Structure 1
Amino acid sequence: MLSGIYACDIQVFRFYPDGLALDVLVQPAPGPGQGPLIATWLRREEPPTGVRTARYTLSSGVYTFETRGHLRDEPVIVQVTKRKDQLLVDRRDGGRLRSNLRFVRIYPEKSA
């Protein structure tokens, strides 16, 4: 299952092994140095305003969940393929498809 915090530009996902996904925009775009700080407030218990929650499922190696857009309140379908410490993400919102977005794990730091 998925676990950890991943970022691509200003989009940040936090995944829990039980199937919970948190989705938020963070400015400026965070890197690994901001991962521990983000972990303190991007938590499943009482997520802050602006954080979307979703449940993901796994089928044929692809994790899928539906969330709501941050800029337009519309459904967003997210499909995730895990590759070591990064995720390849396809997202479809408002009929627009963005493919192969690379999300890098920013928390916890990858093991040596």
Structure 2
Amino acid sequence: MTKPRRARLSGIYAADIQVFRFYPDGLALDVLVKPAPDATHGPAIARWLRRESPLSGVHAVRYAVSAGRISFTTPGHFGEGDVELSGTWRAGRLVLRARHGGRAAPDRHFRLIWPARMRHGPGT
């Protein structure tokens, strides 16, 4: 009997100007992109936002996913110190809440902008 394959978080997700590229091995790249990208920008972002050649302003961090919950810490882009992120990932939807400086920000809904074919998360 074979074990069911666990889905892995992978792809580029965006909410406003915040963009994350997740790799299935637990690496994430964090960058700000102006103007705010949408799915039409996904292929272009995929060409330059790569682990092999990180650009200035791109933070490489490790993330963990368990039972559809994701968590990771990334440096702030404006010198505000580390930002703790946690939330849910399911069916190509990523909802994250950020905490920094002792304050929690409202949930942010990230949409998959690359690859075009949606990858499903745990529990789908």
TM-score (norm 2): 0.84
2:33 pairs with 1:19: no
1:1-112 alignment runs, 5 A limit: 1-111=8-118
Q: CA RMSD in A?
A: 1.3
- SS of the aligned residue for 2:24 comes to coil
Runs of 5+ consecutive residues of structure 1 not aligned to the other structure: none
Higher strand share: 1
User: Where in structure 1 do 4 or more consecutive aligned residues deviate above 4 Å?
Assistant: none
Other structure's SS at 1:47 match: coil
AA at the equivalent of 1:105: L
Gap runs ≥5 in structure 2: 1-7, 119-124
Q: What is the DSSP-based 3-state SS (H/G/I as helix, E as strand, rest coil) of the residue aligned with 1:56?
A: strand
Structure possessing the higher radius of gyration over alpha carbons: 2
Give the TM-score normalised by the residue count of structure 1: 0.92
Query: What is the count of residue pairs matched by the alignment?
Result: 111
The one-letter amino acid of 1:106's match is: I
